[in-house]
Amino acid sequence: MKNSACFCILILALFLGSPNPSIAQESNDLNIYGFTQVLYTHRMTDYTISGGAGLDYDYSQSFRSTSFSLHQVNLFFQKPINDRTTFFLNLEASGSYSSRTPSGYLEIPEGWISYRFSDALEVKAGLLLPKFNNLTEIKNRLPLFPYLIRPILYESLIASVFKSEDFRPDKAYLQLTYFKPISANYIIEGAIYLGNSEDSFLAREETTDINDLELEERTKVYLGEDLNTAMLIGGRVGIENVLNTFKFGISGTFDKDNKNRIEYSVFSLPELQTPILGEVPRYRIGLDLSFTINDKIAFESELLSAFHNHRQIHENPAYKYADLNKFYQYLNITYNFTSQYYAFGGYSISKDNTYEFVLNDSPDAAGLLGYTVGGGWKVFENTAIKAQVFHGRSGQNKNLDYKVTFFALGLSTVF
């Protein structure tokens, strides 16, 4: 309660201390801006788990809900420290955040300082969203998207289905970016970054969780400490038009996938579990392509693949056919009828082979498919009303039949 009060006072002080952005300011003023998205959803979920493949289980459930929510509020604090140095903080509250109810969450997904050596070369240090494909850096900037419910890998409403880090990096701590003009309108851009291993390596308790009581008593760790000496190394190379009418890039990361604990299937099939496989070297590769045609049609797509080095795993005959690789694909097309009205349609697919060697025809390998259509009306320059139907389902599979449909109506405002 005391923390919440302090937080409110801080926000109020920042607002009161910030002049209206439309009137002249000193160039080093603190800039505060952000966005909100209010959402109404009607959700229909149906799933049936059958007892095939030795699973002694049969279960069906249907669930319906209708809900309003303050889907997301983001406050950005941007402070130019001098002509080349900038501080940036992103404060995000999601799912009608309340510590009283409780609901939603409040987090700081970004807080960094950048230094520009030149227009082309910049370094960022701090918690940041790395450059990986087109979407990762803007995954939580909802007003930039035509839709309300994002593709399956980015949407918090279906985040519980799988770990997004299995497919793409979530954060980094040091990033160097560079661009070079290759013509009047095109540039080549590049980035390299470093970060922690995936979140599952981070300490959630002030112990090491290493199953060695004597060592654990002597080795205290702090919450959030990366309990691993490996790091995330990533980068991106791309070409884009300065007017953003064309963008293509290749992204990649190298890190370790944490298979030190028993994991359950993304669809939580009872009694299905994978063995402990240790820390598995992993490469995540991404391709993204987006372009617009005459300001009428906007095309956006990406491919992601997570490749694992299975050499050590395959040395154990029991795991000879283990395959932890994953695949994700996304495509969306938006048609602008006028500058105010638009319609869109798209799909996204994820597939995960991890459980296939434990259970033939595992639901994960069949994949999760998401289809969507919708439209929007830009009421004012910074305000849009959006409507969307999203349907997600498991791929053809004898063990699981899972369907979820969202009807969503939302209001998105930039301030």
Partner 1 sequence: MISGLNTFTLLLSLSLVQPNEAQQIDSIAVIISNKVEQAPISREVLLNIYTLRIQNWDDGTRIRVSDYKGDADIRNQFYSYLGTKVKTVQKIWLRAQFTGRISPPRMFYEQKDILNEVLENPGTIGYIPFSAVPEGVHILLIINHE
Residue identified by tokens 């070297």 is: 281
From the CB of 248, what's the least distance to partner 1, in Å? 17
Pairing relation of β-strands 297-308 and 326-336? Answer: antiparallel
On whether the CB atoms of residues 351 and 162 are closer than 8 A, the answer is no
CA distance 300 to 313: 37
Q: Looking at the chain, how many residues does it have? A: 415
Q: Spell out the residues 6+ positions from residue 263 whose beta carbon is closer than 8 angstroms to its own.
A: 273, 274, 354
Distances (CA, A) of 370 to 149, 184, 392: 11, 39, 4
| Phi, psi of 303, rounded to the nearest 5 degrees | -125, 140
* Count of residues that interact with partner 1, criterion CB under 8 A: 42
Nearer residue to partner 1 within complex by CB, 234 or 367: 234
CA distance 354 to 362: 9
Residue 344 in the binding site for partner 1 (CB under 8 A): no
From the CB of 91, what's the least distance to partner 1, in Å? 13
- CA 39 remoteness from chain centre: 19
From the CB of 129, what's the least distance to partner 1, in Å? 8
414: β partners: 35
Residue 108 in the binding site for partner 1 (CB under 8 A): no
Residue 339 in the binding site for partner 1 (CB under 8 A): yes
Nearer residue to partner 1 within complex by CB, 86 or 397: 86
On whether the CB atoms of residues 90 and 108 are closer than 8 A, the answer is yes
* Residues of span 162-191 touching partner 1 by CB under 8 A: 179, 181, 184-185, 187
Q: Spell out the residues 6+ positions from residue 56 whose beta carbon is closer than 8 angstroms to its own.
A: 271
Written as six digits, the tokens of 243 are 């007017």
Q: Spell out the residues 6+ positions from residue 40 whose beta carbon is closer than 8 angstroms to its own.
A: 66, 67, 68, 408, 409, 410
From the CB of 177, what's the least distance to partner 1, in Å? 10
On whether the CB atoms of residues 366 and 395 are closer than 8 A, the answer is yes
Nearer residue to partner 1 within complex by CB, 258 or 290: 290
Of the candidate residues 53, 57, 80, 273, the single one contacting partner 1 (CB under 8 A)? 80
CA distance 302 to 310: 25
* Residues of span 53-72 touching partner 1 by CB under 8 A: none
* Residues of span 216-245 touching partner 1 by CB under 8 A: 242-245
Residue 24 in the binding site for partner 1 (CB under 8 A): yes
* Residues of span 284-303 touching partner 1 by CB under 8 A: 295
Residue 114 in the binding site for partner 1 (CB under 8 A): yes
Nearer residue to partner 1 within complex by CB, 173 or 407: 173
Of the candidate residues 37, 49, 69, 110, the single one contacting partner 1 (CB under 8 A)? 110
Of the candidate residues 44, 333, 411, 414, the single one contacting partner 1 (CB under 8 A)? 414
From the CB of 320, what's the least distance to partner 1, in Å? 45
Of the candidate residues 2, 3, 16, 22, the single one contacting partner 1 (CB under 8 A)? 22
Can you give the binding site for partner 1, defined by CB under 8 A?
21-22, 24-27, 31, 33, 35, 76, 78, 80, 83-84, 86, 88, 90, 110, 112, 114, 116, 118-119, 129, 137-138, 141, 143-144, 179, 181, 184-185, 187, 242-245, 295, 339, 381, 414
